[in-house]
Amino acid sequence: MAGRPFALQQPALTMERFRGAIAVVTGAARGIGFASAELFGQEGALVALLDIDSDGVEAAAERLRHQGIEAIAITCDVARETAVESAFATVDEQFGRIDVLHASAGILLPATVVEETLERWERTLSVNVTGVFLTARAALRRMVPQRSGTVVLTGSMSGMIVEPDLLGYCTSKAAVNHMARQLAYDHAKHGIRVNAVCPGWVDTLFGEEFAMSAEETVAAVRATVPMGRQATPEEVAAVVAFLASDDASYVTGHCLVMDGGYTLP
């Protein structure tokens, strides 16, 4: 697998774009969610980490605390309305407001339509679409009275193209990508920006769903990604932070594809 450019191997952290901001991240126990929570915290935010994995999210929050980041862990199944409302009530109690939401929780269950079960289909949509709706609704209900805030949804390049054996995932991510546009249109008048980051191959646990070995994954990436490698969660987090920050102050309703060139052909 091709190595990362030298400039990316040891990034110098010099920015404090989120000093004093309250950031909420779902799917924060690992992967992209954890990486974005960490970067928000390193740049000055107080962070609420939400995840269905109780032990995992607490361990993630503890890792941030060891870095001197103020972080709280909240167990939350984003597909359940009561769980989401309870989680955001806890954020209210702890921090009093929300400035940034990164809705990153998601699942990938590969199948074609003839292989798919109703249970798996409904679970995919409940987490990937309803979960984003519930968390975005909870955040925006708090941001609208403030007339400020930024929201970043984790969409996917898979919501823009078709891919083999990913009926539920591609359909759900197409909905998320479009939800970002709709939310942006509805809430620009409130001083709120909404965007989506749309990664391609990312080196996370999602790859295990395809039951591919590390060697098979490397071969598949080299065959399909012009840059010859997967993104790291930290690279995705950097794009999330850009979209959430004032560096992107005139960007809203945008689905930013970062796929190493996968969708170019």
Catalytically annotated residues: 169
- CB atoms inside a 10 Å sphere around CB 63: 16
Q: Number of C-alpha atoms within 13 angstroms, CB side, residue 26?
A: 30
- Which tokens belong to 188? 């620009």
Q: CB burial class (10 A; 0-12, 13-18, 19+) of residue 65? A: middle
- CB atoms inside a 10 Å sphere around CB 119: 9
Q: Find all residues with CB under 8 Å of 191, minimum gap 6, and list them.
A: 147, 148, 149
Euclidean distance between the first and the last CA atom of the chain, given in angstroms as a whole number: 21
